[in-house]
Amino acid sequence: MQKKIIWPNGARCACAITFDIDADSLIHIAKPVDGHDRLYPISMGRYGPTVAIPRILETYKRLGLKQSFFAPGWVVEQYPDAMQAILKDGHEIGHHGYLHEDPTNHSASEQAYWFERALEAHKRVLGNVPKGYRAPVYNVTQAVIDLLNKHEFDYDSSLMADDVPYLMRSGGRTLVELPSHWGTDDWPQFAHFEEIGYMMPVAGPRAGLTPFWEEFEAQYEEGGFWIGIWHPFLTGRLARWRQVEDWMETILNRGDVWFATLGEIAQHVRAQYEADRQSVRVEELPYYQAPVLTT
């Protein structure tokens, strides 16, 4: 039976729209030799921090929302004005690797190097100490969990073991997991990026976003948790964002949906667990200690 989390102020459902601000980091890591001279993918990525982020922030300001963003450390360094604007408006910026590197391609020591380099970029450029993490391409290893615990992160939002938040216990410490899923990620709907191996048939704004609203309604009926995992250079495009604005206004008018940052949701989940240990599920990590062999 699914655990039942009681949301604040009588809300029926918790809701978070999160943005991964990858910008043009993707082309540089995918094409390290000549990515710097591939102007179309660079310009596509730059659309995020330079055009989409101001648009998104204006909407959030108009609607009175505070939400969560995740940015690679390199993006923080390259686009400090956009990052500072996000923090100035009271939003949260979480850790998203350094150059959107895949942790599973690195040894534990390499993972630590890139993780801590990104953390240092957030602190140096923004004075921001992230407490939330989303792994590039959702790839988390036990070494990443160990780094999150070492640096006293509050939550992760990369894994997919439940419909609602749960706790992960590892090394004598717990992290709140705010689960994501490809069903509420805009990449399958809108990403057309041959240079990094994605050639999705680009959906129209209404058709591409309708599955997200269907996922929300299912969570709303269950009194659960809905999270959008979007990219400014995809869903921040003009026609798509108009669809999002219309949806947000409709949902806000219901009056029983709690829009919050992931940091706020994680704090609430942890507090509820402390008050009622039966209300939040706990998973023990690591899942496995060694490769599982098949014969």
Q: How far apart are CA 245 and CA 169, in angstroms?
A: 37
pLDDT tens digit sequence for 254-282: 999 999 999 999 999 999 999 999 999 99
Angstrom distance (rounded) from CA 101 to CA 264: 27
CATH topology of domain 11-277: TIM Barrel (3.20.20)
In angstroms, what is the C-alpha Rg of the chain?
A: 19
Other Cβ atoms within 10 Å of 156 Cβ, number = 25
The chain-wide mean pLDDT, for the chain, equals 95
> Tokens at residue 170, please?
């590892």
pLDDT 10s digits, 215-227: 999 999 999 999 9
- Report the pLDDT value the prediction gives residue 2, as an integer from 0 to 100: 58
Report CA 290 to chain centroid distance, whole Å: 29
pTM for the predicted model, two decimal places: 0.96
Residue 113 has φ and ψ, to the nearest 5°, of: -60, -50
